[in-house]
Amino acid sequence: MITLKVNRKEHAVDVNPETPLLWVIRENLGLTGTKFGCGMALCGACTVHLDGEAVRSCVTPVSRAAGKSVTTIEGLSSDLSHPLQKAWIANDVPQCGYCQSGQIMSAAVLLREKAHPTDVDIDEAMSGNICRCGTYQRIRSAIHLAAKMKAEGSAE
Amino acid sequence: MSDILNFSRRDFLKTGAVAGGGLVLGLYVPLGNRLMAAEKTGTAFAPNAFIRIGTDDLVTVIVNHSEMGQGVYTALPMLVAEELDADWSKVRVQSAPAAPAYNHTAFGIQMTGGSSSTWSEYDRLRKAGATGRAMLISAAATKWNVDPSACRAENGAVIHSASGRRLSFGELAESASHLEPPKDVKLKDPKDFKLIGKATRRLDTPEKSNGKGMFGLDVTVPGMLVALIARPPVFGGKVKSLDASKAKAIKGVRHVVQIDRGVAVVADGFWPAKLGREALDVTWDDGALAGLDSTAQREQYAQLASKPGAVAKKDGDAVAAMSGAAKKLDAVYEVPYLAHAMMEPLNCVADVRANSCEVWTGTQFQTMEQAVAAKTAGLKPEQVQIHTMLLGGGFGRRAVPDAHFVQEAVQVSKMVKAPVKVMWTREDDIRGGYYRPTAYHTVAGGLDASGNIVAWQQHIVCQSFMAGTPFEGFAIKDGVDATAVEGVSDMPYGIPNVLAEWTMAPGGVPTLWWRSVGHSHTAFVVESFLDELAHAAGKDPLDVRRALLAKHPRHLGVLELAAQKAGWGTPMAEGKGRGLAVHESFGSFVAHVAEVTVSNDGAVKVDRVVCAIDCGPTVNPDTIRAQMEGGIVFGLTAALYGKITFENGRVQQTNFHDYPVLRMNEMPVVEVHIVASTDKMGGVGEPGTPPIAPAVTNAIFAATGKRIRRLPIRAEDARKG
């Protein structure tokens, strides 16, 4: 049995400890917002937060998450209230949408670390996340917009 | 297999004839379970196959085209809502089941492709909405005992204009459901549109921003097992011997079964299935393609190109004009096989029972999936339910005439007597075939003494992915596959003598349409070689196109707009260049101007792309912009990186490290300009892709003087000097 906290809730799972966290999240816990894209940490579709840091869950053995706190897209907000989600909606970022959970989870760490990321910051933080529909330009502007919303929100 | 295809062909023709009849009103089609449940509780009014109105005022539009990112779950409901005068905030979307009522109005089967969803539904769905509106108005007029002409619909309600009385659609739904649909309905004058033509937020963005959207891969049904399939390492290979003992010993592996297309390892979840597949001991008979090698294949294509081909276009006498030309240019252009590499790898859930089969998948081809699933399960098509999920990208890969990824899942479910989700890994996807065909073009051009282009000869060698499918009769005429030569056979340039030929390359490697189909290579060759001829004549490439497109105002319109917005002709810094290309595909006209920087080592960075599109009347302009942005990125990935190659019959690429795609740090600034147009409506999903590669390679020529004639672009080809 491996115990881990996902989206602030404790879970105990009986799996091979080598099993990537991705499959525990998706198959054992039924949280399918985190996606499978490559299985080699090349595309970022499976990005989640492990104790607050962005990790590629497709190559993270579940044993590494034991006793730690995992946040998935479902745990980012319950009501689309995160500034990134608001900005994603305002800019109509997604096309097929498959990569967007991973994009948002990567961007959330960026935004926490840098209140006003530059384009270079965005390039560095987001180049591990592939979008085959080509929404990069909208992702970039949505991150800038979310940073602005966040700043205005905290100023209130 | 041939039985399936024969069946499908008959079905295809039959339904095609019916679809020509237009709107099928009052038709109650068999619906999916969830929808039936909804009907029992909420839906009170279903005026046709596309609209359900509940007593709760919610308007559910049943969308028969698959949402793969191109925005049909918004654009198509907009067509209905406009004519229904629905309250847009109350509009919901449900994917249509597989049924003839949902067949494509032009293509006769239920499918999504060819950038056709919006134009093909433009009349049918507006009529469906207008019919619903007329019935709701009639219901209200009866209640109020007034003439229907004294009432109007507005924002989800019917209003009696004189008295101001108002009943919501939900309040009218029950009584409207007892009325006969009117035979004729009047559609709005476009000047009265409230939604169509206005940038409208996508209905699916929220569920794609919180992880709730359900893609095929996300489906779970009770008792479901997960399967991975070991497929032959060489296309056409077969299992020679199989030892599954080690695989079966892995905890969580339930079954190992041999199927038509390989060996399925069926387990409790993905990870044991993967470990089980790795533990399989399979010996393969590689078959006829065991020696396939990309270098040798290129030689074979060159040989084929040197002999006469089937004639795809013939104007004047190109051979005579070429021999009389003052100046002659020859070139060879080459493009490789390409994988679609959608972000969501292929997958399919199938649940085969004694008298039914349910399929959950992201598909662009419901009619084919239903036919193939039925055949595989030993059932009738109407016993097969297809649940179309969100598609994590399509690009043509989920429209497969042989429906192989559904066939596999149905076969495995039938064999293990349980619902099964067959998943593809990224490696399965990249090495899985159904590629954009590799193509070899020879092209020659002749200039007269004044530098006018007087002759053009082109010979294309590539595989046909239509041959041997139910679509062969539609696509292949007089020995020419239209999907292999489109973009050349309909070349708009006013060149008096043109001869274009095609030779079908030997088959074997599974090939398929890939976003923009034949245009994906023909636009590259035509627009590059035209640039070569312009430079050979000492003329500006924009001026040359202007002169040759005098009779093509829509081409000219986008060309001029893109050139003007990009500042064509203004000077650029050392190492930078600007290139343009214009191309018509899928009924729309797109011009791109690309700006590039080429470093001393030949590395190419695309800095900016200015795009102009004329797709006729617009439905959701923001989606048009998004599709241009996406189509440009898709084409840039192919131009800069895309390449599937073979050695010893085996595909050499496996995942995103050796089949790279464009990333955030490489994204150019893209500007999209839409021509205000009342011309015929075209598509937007694909037309942004074809002209980007030549715009970039023409820009490289402007920057370095190096002409790129093979894709992907190699640094050694782009390096100056």
How wide is the angle at C-alpha A97 spanned by C-alphas A96 and A103, nearest 5°?
Answer: 140
Instruction: Reply yes or no on whether the pLDDT at B372 is more than 50.
Output: yes
Q: Cβ contact (<8 Å) for B656 and A43?
A: yes
> In angstroms, what separates the C-alpha of A86 from chain B's closest C-alpha?
9
Residue in A38, A92, A135 nearest the CB of B655: A38
How wide is the angle at C-alpha B44 spanned by C-alphas B43 and B47, nearest 5°?
Answer: 100
The model's pLDDT over B238-264, given as tens digits with 9 standing for 90+, comes to 999 999 999 999 999 999 999 999 999
> In angstroms, what separates the C-alpha of B559 from chain A's closest C-alpha?
23
Instruction: Reply yes or no on whether the pLDDT at B12 is more than 60.
Output: no
Angle between the B72-84 and B117-144 helix axes, to the nearest 10 degrees? 30
Q: What is the mean pLDDT of residues A96-103?
A: 98
Residue in B205, B251, B394 nearest the CB of A92: B205
CA distances from B552 to B10, B65, B491 (A): 39, 32, 11
> In angstroms, what separates the C-alpha of B268 from chain A's closest C-alpha?
9
The model's pLDDT over A131-144, given as tens digits with 9 standing for 90+, comes to 999 999 999 999 99
Instruction: Reply yes or no on whether the pLDDT at B37 is more than 60.
Output: no
| CB distance B294 to A39 below 8 Å | no
Residue in A23, A33, A123 nearest the CB of B664: A123
How far is the C-alpha of B204 from the C-alpha of A59, rounded, in Å? Answer: 30
Q: Cβ contact (<8 Å) for B211 and A89?
A: no
Taking a contact as any Cβ pair under 8 Å apart, which residues of chain A between 18 and 57 contact chain B? 18-20, 23, 26-28, 30-40, 42-43, 45
In this prediction, residue A155 has a pLDDT band, given cuts at 50, 70 and 90, of low
Tokens representing residue B356 in the block: 């039914």
Q: Cβ contact (<8 Å) for A40 and B655?
A: yes
| CB distance B373 to B384 below 8 Å | yes
Which residues of chain A does B341 touch, with a Cβ-Cβ cutoff of 8 Å?
132
Q: Cβ contact (<8 Å) for A124 and B345?
A: no
Per-residue pLDDT at B7 = 32
How far is the C-alpha of B278 from the C-alpha of B276, rounded, in Å? Answer: 5
Q: Which one of B207, B209, B636 would you mutate to disrupt binding with A, by most A Cβ within 10 Å of its Cβ?
A: B209
The model's pLDDT over B684-714, given as tens digits with 9 standing for 90+, comes to 999 999 999 999 999 999 999 999 999 999 9
**Closest-CA residue in chain B for A124?**
B665
| CB distance B335 to B711 below 8 Å | yes
Q: What is the mean pLDDT of residues B279-283?
A: 98
In this prediction, residue B13 has a pLDDT band, given cuts at 50, 70 and 90, of very low
| CB distance B196 to B623 below 8 Å | no
How wide is the angle at C-alpha B147 spanned by C-alphas B145 and B152, nearest 5°?
Answer: 105
Read off the amino acid at residue B413.
S
Query: Counting Cβ atoms within 10 Å, is residue B586 exposed (0-12), middle (13-18) or buried (19+)?
Result: buried
> In angstroms, what separates the C-alpha of B323 from chain A's closest C-alpha?
46
- DSSP E strands: which ranges in B33-120? 43-48, 51-54, 59-63, 91-95
Instruction: Reply yes or no on whether the pLDDT at B41 is more than 50.
Output: no
| CB distance B412 to B357 below 8 Å | no
Q: Cβ contact (<8 Å) for B634 and A95?
A: no
Instruction: Check CB contact of A117 with chain B, cutoff 8 Å.
Output: no
Name beta bridge partners: B327: B447
Q: Cβ contact (<8 Å) for A97 and B341?
A: no
| CB distance B593 to B562 below 8 Å | yes
Per-residue pLDDT at A154 = 65
Identify the residue whose tokens are 């015929």. B680
**Closest-CA residue in chain A for B200?**
A92
Q: Cβ contact (<8 Å) for B343 and A129?
A: no
Share of chain B above pLDDT 70, in %: 94
> In angstroms, what separates the C-alpha of B282 from chain A's closest C-alpha?
23
**Closest-CA residue in chain A for B218?**
A32
Q: What is the mean pLDDT of residues B15-19?
A: 29
> In angstroms, what separates the C-alpha of A33 from chain B's closest C-alpha?
4
Give one DSSP letter per residue of B574-601, joined into a string: TTEEEEEEEEEETTEEEEEEEEEEE-TT
**Closest-CA residue in chain B for A77?**
B210
Q: Cβ contact (<8 Å) for A45 and B663?
A: no
Q: Which one of B67, B70, B200, B208 would you mutate to disrupt binding with A, by most A Cβ within 10 Å of its Cβ?
A: B208
Per-residue pLDDT at A153 = 83
**Closest-CA residue in chain B for A83?**
B209
> In angstroms, what separates the C-alpha of B101 from chain A's closest C-alpha?
26
> In angstroms, what separates the C-alpha of B68 from chain A's closest C-alpha?
5
Which residues of chain B does A140 touch, with a Cβ-Cβ cutoff of 8 Å?
664, 667
**Closest-CA residue in chain B for A35?**
B344
The model's pLDDT over B476-520, given as tens digits with 9 standing for 90+, comes to 999 999 999 999 999 999 999 999 999 999 999 999 999 999 999
How far is the C-alpha of B680 from the C-alpha of B614, rounded, in Å? Answer: 10
3-class state of residue B182 by DSSP = coil
| CB distance B357 to A97 below 8 Å | no
Q: How many CB atoms lie within 10 A of CB A149?
A: 17
Q: What are the residues whose beta carbons fall under 8 Å from the beta carbon of B695, sequence distance 6 or more?
A: B527, B579, B580, B581, B592, B593, B594, B609
Q: What is the mean pLDDT of residues B186-205?
A: 97
**Closest-CA residue in chain B for A102?**
B211
Q: Quick one: which H or E segment has residue A86?
A: helix A83-90
CB pairs under 8 A between A and B: 184
Q: Cβ contact (<8 Å) for B664 and A95?
A: no
Instruction: Reply yes or no on whether the pLDDT at B25 is more than 90.
Output: no
- DSSP E strands: which ranges in B143-274? 151-154, 157-160, 166-168, 225-230, 238-243, 253-259, 262-267
Q: What is the mean pLDDT of residues B47-52?
A: 95
Q: Cβ contact (<8 Å) for A136 and B344?
A: no
Q: Cβ contact (<8 Å) for A27 and B272?
A: no
Taking a contact as any Cβ pair under 8 Å apart, which residues of chain A between 50 and 109 contact chain B? 72-74, 76-77, 80, 85, 88-89, 92-101, 104
Which residues of chain B does A123 touch, with a Cβ-Cβ cutoff of 8 Å?
664-665
**Taking the alpha carbons of B408, B412, B418, B420 in that order, is the dihedral positive or negative?**
negative
How far is the C-alpha of B265 from the C-alpha of B59, rounded, in Å? Answer: 43
Which residues of chain A does B272 touch, with a Cβ-Cβ cutoff of 8 Å?
16
**Closest-CA residue in chain A for B635?**
A134
Q: Cβ contact (<8 Å) for B226 and A27?
A: yes
The model's pLDDT over B597-632, given as tens digits with 9 standing for 90+, comes to 999 999 999 999 999 999 999 999 999 999 999 999
Instruction: Reply yes or no on whether the pLDDT at B40 is more than 50.
Output: no
Q: Cβ contact (<8 Å) for A32 and B201?
A: no
What's the whole-number average pLDDT of chain B?
94
ipTM over the 0.85 cut-off: yes
Q: Cβ contact (<8 Å) for B669 and A137?
A: yes
**Closest-CA residue in chain B for A18?**
B271
Residue in B209, B342, B392 nearest the CB of A88: B209
| CB distance B441 to B525 below 8 Å | yes
Residue in B220, B390, B632 nearest the CB of A134: B632
The model's pLDDT over A12-63, given as tens digits with 9 standing for 90+, comes to 999 999 999 999 999 999 999 999 999 999 999 999 999 999 999 999 999 9
Q: What is the mean pLDDT of residues B569-587?
A: 97
Q: Cβ contact (<8 Å) for B208 and A132?
A: no
In this prediction, residue B44 has a pLDDT band, given cuts at 50, 70 and 90, of confident
- Would the pTM count as exceeding 0.90? yes
Per-residue pLDDT at B39 = 42
